[in-house]
Amino acid sequence: MQYLKYMAEFLKKKRLETNKTLNSFAIFAGLEPATLSRYENSQRKISLESFVKIAVGLGITPAELFQEYDNFLKNNVHLK
């Protein structure tokens, strides 16, 4: 499976739902814009720390973000 690609798509989708630019969301979430860009472009695996920062930036818990990611996979990827 290409989980790095799916996570990248998911993170970008979630950021776009906030109506924030990559730079503004990254700074708001406490990340470097270049780091967030690498996550959104499948160029880097996301760390747990960054995942938590993104969740907080979205105003949800990491567990809620993981649940949304799970739903994203179920609705967009044929998992076996």
Vertex 51, ends 15 and 19: CA angle to 5°?
A: 10
pTM for this prediction:
0.88
pLDDT digit string, tens, across residues 30-76: 999 999 999 999 999 999 999 999 999 999 999 999 999 999 999 98
With a cut of 50, say whether residue 80 has pLDDT above it.
no
- Domain boundaries defined on the chain: 3-76
Three-state DSSP at 65 gives helix
Q: Report d(CA 77, CA 6) in Å as an integer.
A: 8
Three-state DSSP at 46 gives coil
Contacts (Cβ under 8 Å, ≥6 apart) of 78:
none
Q: What is the CATH code for 3-76?
A: 1.10.260.40
| pLDDT band per the 50, 70, 90 thresholds, residue 12 | very high
